[in-house]
């Protein structure tokens, strides 16, 4: 049984992990008999968004507490994640990936990565273990791996330019497919960067999970 770390960043598309993408990832991992462990930064979110109106709220929410809503309470601080315990890592999308796991949402190509995420992903990469990133999460890859990694976020031209500026190689990809970088052992898929329904998002995410498990 493969042991997979899933990194969450809150609960909800506009200020945390995209819930559909997270649950589809969890379902695909379960269907493929993987053991899943959930992690999140144990920090406050920089923003809290009303998901009905899209407006920012003044309240404070903790990323790990919010993420535990998706993981049904089973979650650990990202600072405790150790690469030697896992065969692969998968990071769903949502604005939390661009706001909470890094600050790409505000800094663009000058973004910085959460220090605990950077430590864990770099350790996984050094141990030649595969990485799967979904939706907007792949924007972090050039900074995390410090290499010309091949990846996709779909076909958004502005985001693709930022990825290229950071040293990544962006590949346009349809919603139902994946981009695989065999050299750097990375799998990415657009999901809700392009998906118009949960059914569309499911196809690419299932392919990503199967490929990550195969590489592991």
| CA distance linking residue 168 with residue 108, whole number of Å | 13
Question: Active-site residue 135, yes or no?
Answer: yes
| CA distance linking residue 132 with residue 212, whole number of Å | 6
| Cβ-proximal residues to 63 (8 Å cutoff; 6+ apart), any chain | 8, 9, 10, 16, 40, 41, 42, 43, 44, 45, 96, 100
Give the SS3 label for residue 60.
Answer: coil
| CA distance linking residue 201 with residue 178, whole number of Å | 11
Choice among 11, 102, 111, 135 that is catalytic: 135
Residue 67: in which H helix or E strand, if any? Answer: helix 63-71
- Positions annotated as catalytic residues are 135
């Amino acid at each position: 049984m493969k042991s997979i770390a899933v990194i969450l960043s809150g609960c909800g598309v506009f200020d945390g992990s995209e819930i559909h993408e997270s649950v589809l990832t969890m379902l695909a991992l379960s269907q493929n008999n993987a053991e899943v462990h959930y992690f999140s930064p144990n920090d406050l979110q920089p923003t809290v968004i009303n998901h009905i109106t899209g407006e920012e709220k003044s309240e404070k929410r903790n990323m790990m507490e919010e993420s535990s809503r998706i993981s049904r309470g089973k979650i650990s601080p990202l600072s405790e994640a150790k690469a030697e315990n896992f065969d692969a890592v998968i990071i769903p999308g949502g604005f939390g990936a661009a706001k909470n796991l890094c600050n790409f949402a505000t800094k663009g190509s000058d973004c910085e990565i959460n220090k605990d995420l950077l430590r864990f992903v770099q350790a996984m990469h050094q141990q030649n273990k595969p990485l799967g990133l979904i939706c907007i999460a792949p924007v972090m890859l050039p900074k995390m791996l410090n290499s010309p990694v091949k990846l996709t976020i779909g076909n958004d031209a502005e985001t693709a330019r930022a990825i290229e500026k950071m040293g990544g190689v962006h590949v346009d990809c349809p919603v139902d497919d994946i981009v695989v970088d065999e050299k750097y052992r990375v799998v990415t898929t657009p999901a809700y960067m392009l998906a118009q329904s949960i059914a569309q998002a499911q196809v690419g995410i299932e392919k990503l999970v199967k490929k990550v498990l195969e590489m592991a």
